């Protein structure tokens, strides 16, 4: 039976419909948020997976009909998810995942389908609300609800889920998710805001989240199904006891050693292999030997995490011996690659990123075929994580969710300081290649990317650095860690990444493995991150303190002119004939797609930008465009070249693209029988512009341009 629930959420209608659509799903809700409509469905498999992890899949499916678009390309249907859809799916997954019990192994899928989009009412936040509620009303054991909101800030006022206009004006855009009482996930981009401002925005968002969670609880209490009982993965307590007793001392010693990552990992692995060998002998005759050894491996891994947590929280001993707020050794350099427009190498401990910056024409921007109003972007940061960076082999293919997510975080951090198109009319692409990884390669990408931008001469407003913080909890005690390495990230409870300039935060991301953290822990982490960020910025400033004034000799140079909008059609020409001619002649190439061809971007308002590495080619291109749009002034004298001689007169080119006729009667003061008696092809003559006839043809006069004294002398001569 269909049920409908309504909430006036901060002046907007939020409606939930249940019981009518997708009734075979374990839980399904239709969310109407203004004119935005999202269908969220949750399904759980009946069988326990054999995987040693929780197989949760969260999808966010963009349907272009939701914004009245037909997909581009030949096939004309939605293909692989856009980066934005992938990022939104991650956004929903992260706060939901910790809400399932340890040992949960039934496969769960949460599918969010966007059916209608009102740009002023976020489909992403509607989908997060719907995902939680679909799980909540289902029979799936889910310890929610959770909800999320976006927070903006204009002046001193904070806004919940700002509309398009408010988003553009906002100095901060924070996406926050959580339960009624705790914060689970944060994503933020900001224009150098303070830590205090960020905390206030988080607090403001938490109040709205509580309201949404209470609305969900009301709905669940009325239409929610009884939760089923599932078998949780568990290991025999007796085996747990003897395995931990056997390995604890050796594993503790290996973890306390001050060896570098590779040697330390080898020592830890040796302890694990020794345990496997030992228990292989003990249980050699057991028919479930394979399962027992799998459990032994799991137990040793759990013990490793337990020891690491105890050492950090109780003794303040980190796996590599650093203080809790200490950064690993830093180094950086620029101009690593001679032919790129900008390059930089940044190393922090055993994490190393090589970043390059490439400058292109505005016309080379990325086309976006998604649900948003934005259809292109001119700044991109792409992140690549090859297997060799962690000493492993593996599959190579298209970027995965992690690579897309890390690239988006770095892009958001640097976007806040990028110059406007008017200040720097280029498309800019930064690529980060992770060469070595042991903790927070995304933040190393921000540092290396910033250095490469400055080396390329991109006039960013201020240098940006990033640092990753961690959290280890044990009971009521906790420790916040600066510059977490891989082991601490894997064993810890929080991954908290903060990027910014010396003046404030530009990007923030927080994920947790527990069900929430308090404001006091957040405040402590932000303060510790601020200190670390200043230290990294100091190193970066010692390498390059400001953007270079000159671009690389291999980067395209630019020149800009403005023409009358009505002249654009003349520069383009019929079917692009004129602009093609200009590009080919100015560049001396055979096709416009030649790598050496000049690039010309023309805006609808007549703003023209010309790009090429050779300034002479740019100058020639500008001259040719100016010649096309230059207007002849009636009554003014011009020097032109005779291009053709006919019986009725001659044609004279004033400049390239501008040609007029001198009628035989206008060639001289005296009567002329044959134009060829007076002029020949190639002659330069002075003519006066008489104006255009009713067919748009330019008429010229040599006779009227001749000096009067010359005319008298010619008359005497006769």
Task: Write the CB contacts of 80 (distance below 8 Å, at least 6 apart in sequence).
Answer: 398
Taking 60 as the threshold, does the pLDDT of residue 518 lie above it? yes
Taking 60 as the threshold, does the pLDDT of residue 716 lie above it? no
Query: CB of 673 within 8 A of CB of 680?
Result: no
DSSP code string of 75-124: T-S--SPPHHHHHHHHHHHHHHGGGS-TT--EEEEEEEEEEE-BTTB-HH
Higher pLDDT: 383 or 285? It is 383
Mean pLDDT, to the nearest integer, of 6-34? 96
Mean pLDDT, to the nearest integer, of 574-600? 92
Taking 80 as the threshold, does the pLDDT of residue 693 lie above it? yes
Q: Which domains does the chain have, with CATH numbers?
A: 3-223 (3.30.230.70), 237-315 (1.10.10), 330-543 (3.30.230.70), 557-629 (3.30.1370.10), 637-717 (2.40.50.140)
**DSSP 8-class letter at 517:** B
Phi, psi for 495 (deg, rounded to 5) = -120, 110
Which SS3 state, helix, strand or coil, does residue 576 take?
helix
Q: How do residues 226-261 score in pLDDT, each as one tens digit?
A: 999 999 988 889 999 999 999 999 998 888 877 777
Most confident among 49-63, 104-118, 478-492, 591-605 (mean pLDDT): 104-118
> How many CA atoms within 13 Å lie on the side-chain side of 110?
31
Strands 183-193 and 505-512: antiparallel
DSSP code string of 249-278: HHHHHHHH----HHHHHHHHHHHHHHHHHH
Q: Residue 470 forms beta bridges with which residues?
A: 481, 495
Instruction: Identify the weakest region by mean pLDDT among 20-24, 62-66, 79-83, 611-615.
Output: 79-83
Q: How do residues 322-378 score in pLDDT, each as one tens digit?
A: 899 999 999 999 999 999 999 999 999 999 999 999 999 887 777 766 676 666 789
> How many CA atoms within 13 Å lie on the side-chain side of 641?
7
Mean pLDDT in the chain?
Answer: 91
**Alpha carbon of 447 to those of 352, 413, 460, 534, 657: distances in Å?**
10, 10, 13, 12, 50
Give the pLDDT of residue 75: 83
Edge-to-edge strands of the sheet including 505-512? 157-160, 147-154, 172-178, 183-193, 505-512, 494-500, 465-474, 477-482
Mean pLDDT, to the nearest integer, of 644-651? 95
Which SS3 state, helix, strand or coil, does residue 239 take?
helix
Mean pLDDT, to the nearest integer, of 653-668? 90
Q: How do residues 98-136 score in pLDDT, each as one tens digit?
A: 999 999 999 999 999 999 999 999 999 999 999 999 999
Q: Residue 52 forms beta bridges with which residues?
A: none
Q: How do residues 554-575 score in pLDDT, each as one tens digit?
A: 999 999 999 999 999 989 988 9
Give the pLDDT of residue 320: 82
Give the pLDDT of residue 711: 45
Query: Predicted confidence band at 718 (pLDDT cuts at 50, 70, 90)?
Result: very low
Which SS3 state, helix, strand or coil, does residue 27 take?
strand
Q: How do residues 521-562 score in pLDDT, each as one tens digit?
A: 889 999 999 999 999 999 999 999 999 999 999 999 999 999
Give the pLDDT of residue 431: 97
Mean pLDDT, to the nearest integer, of 460-484? 92
Which SS3 state, helix, strand or coil, does residue 481 take?
strand
Give the pLDDT of residue 709: 54
Q: How do residues 378-431 score in pLDDT, each as one tens digit?
A: 999 999 999 999 888 988 888 888 899 999 999 999 999 999 988 999 999 999
Rg for the chain, CA atoms, rounded:
34
DSSP code string of 343-381: EEEEEETTEEEEEEEEEE-GGGPEE--SSSS--EESEEE
Give the pLDDT of residue 291: 86
Work out the percent of the chain whose per-residue pLDDT is above 90: 71
Higher pLDDT: 75 or 33? It is 33
Query: Predicted confidence band at 717 (pLDDT cuts at 50, 70, 90)?
Result: very low
Query: CB of 130 within 8 A of CB of 138?
Result: no
DSSP code string of 276-326: HHHHHHHTTT-TTHHHHHHHHHHHHHHHHHHHHHHHHHHH---TT---TTP
Taking 60 as the threshold, does the pLDDT of residue 1 lie above it? yes
Q: Residue 71 has which token pair?
A: 């997909």
Q: Residue 141 has which token pair?
A: 């054991």
Query: Structure pTM?
Result: 0.84
Mean pLDDT, to the nearest integer, of 13-32? 97
Rounded to an integer, what distance in angstroms lies between the CA atom of residue 201 and that of residue 199?
Answer: 5
């Amino acid at each position: 039976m269909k049920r409908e629930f309504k909430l006036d959420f901060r002046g907007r209608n939020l409606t939930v419909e249940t019981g009518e659509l997708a009734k075979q799903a374990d839980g399904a809700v239709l969310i109407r948020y203004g004119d935005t409509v999202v269908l969220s469905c949750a399904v759980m498999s009946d069988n326990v997976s054999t995987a040693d992890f929780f197989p949760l899949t969260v999808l966010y499916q963009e349907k272009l009909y939701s914004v009245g678009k037909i997909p581009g390309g030949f096939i004309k249907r939605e293909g692989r998810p856009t980066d934005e859809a992938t990022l939104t799916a991650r956004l929903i997954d992260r706060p939901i995942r910790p809400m399932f019990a340890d040992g949960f192994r039934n496969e769960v899928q949460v599918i969010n389908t966007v059916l209608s989009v009102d740009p002023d009412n976020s489909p992403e936040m509607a989908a997060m609300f719907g995902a939680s509620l679909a799980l909540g009303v289902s029979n799936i054991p889910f310890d929610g609800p959770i909800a999320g909101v976006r927070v903006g800030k204009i002046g001193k006022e904070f806004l919940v889920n700002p509309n398009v206009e408010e988003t553009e004006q906002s100095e901060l855009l924070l996406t926050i998710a959580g339960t009624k009482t705790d914060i689970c996930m944060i994503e933020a981009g900001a224009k150098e805001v303070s830590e205090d401002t960020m905390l206030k925005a988080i607090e403001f968002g938490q109040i709205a989240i509580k309201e949404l969670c209470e609305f969900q609880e009301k709905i669940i209490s009325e239409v929610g199904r009884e939760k089923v009982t599932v078998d949780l993965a568990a290991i025999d307590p007796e085996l747990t006891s003897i395995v931990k007793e056997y390995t604890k001392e050796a594993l503790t010693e290996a973890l306390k050693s001050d060896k570098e990552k590779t040697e330390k990992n080898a020592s830890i692995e040796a302890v694990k292999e020794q345990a496997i060998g030992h228990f292989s002998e003990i249980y050699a005759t057991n028919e479930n030997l394979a399962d027992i050894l799998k459990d032994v491996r799991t137990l040793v891994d759990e013990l490793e995490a337990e020891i690491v947590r105890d050492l950090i929280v109780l003794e303040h001993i980190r796996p590599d011996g650093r203080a809790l707020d200490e950064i690993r050794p830093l180094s950086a350099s620029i101009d690593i690659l001679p032919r790129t427009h900008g390059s930089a190498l940044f190393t922090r401990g055993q994490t190393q990123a090589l970043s390059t910056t490439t400058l292109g024409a505005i016309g080379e921007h990325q086309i976006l075929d998604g649900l948003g109003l934005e259809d292109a972007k001119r700044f991109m940061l792409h992140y690549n994580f090859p297997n060799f960076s962690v000493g492993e082999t593996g599959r190579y293919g298209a970027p995965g969710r992690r690579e897309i997510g890390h690239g988006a975080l770095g892009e958001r951090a640097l976007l806040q300081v990028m110059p406007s198109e008017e200040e720097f009319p280029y498309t800019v692409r930064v690529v980060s290649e992770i060469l070595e990884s042991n903790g927070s390669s995304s933040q190393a990408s921000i540092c290396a990317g910033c250095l490469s931008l400055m080396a390329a001469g991109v006039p960013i407003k201020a240098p940006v650095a990033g640092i990753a913080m961690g959290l280890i909890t044990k009971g009521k005690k906790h420790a916040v860690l600066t510059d977490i390495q891989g082991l601490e990230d894997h064993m810890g409870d929080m991954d908290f990444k903060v990027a910014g300039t010396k003046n404030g935060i530009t990007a923030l991301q927080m994920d947790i493995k527990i069900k929430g953290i308090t404001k006091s822990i957040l405040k402590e982490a932000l303060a510790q991150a601020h200190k670390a960020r200043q230290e990294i910025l100091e190193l970066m400033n010692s390498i390059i303190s400001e953007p270079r004034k000159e671009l690389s000799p291999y980067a395209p140079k630019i020149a800009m002119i403005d023409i009358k909008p009505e002249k654009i059609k003349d520069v383009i020409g019929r079917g692009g004939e004129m602009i093609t001619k200009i590009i080919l002649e100015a560049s001396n190439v055979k096709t416009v797609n030649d790598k050496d061809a000049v690039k010309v971007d023309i805006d609808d308002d007549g703003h023209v930008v010309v790009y090429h590495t050779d300034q002479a080619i740019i100058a020639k291109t500008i001259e040719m465009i100016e010649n096309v749009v230059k207007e002849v002034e009636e009554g003014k004298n011009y020097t032109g070249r005779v291009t053709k001689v006919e019986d009725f007169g001659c044609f004279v080119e004033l400049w390239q693209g501008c040609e007029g006729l001198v009628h035989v009667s206008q060639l001289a003061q005296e009567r002329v029988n044959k134009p060829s008696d007076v002029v020949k092809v190639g002659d330069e003559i002075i003519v006066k512009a008489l104006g255009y006839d009713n067919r748009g043809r330019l008429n010229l006069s040599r006779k009227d341009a001749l000096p009067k004294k010359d005319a008298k002398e010619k008359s005497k001569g006769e």
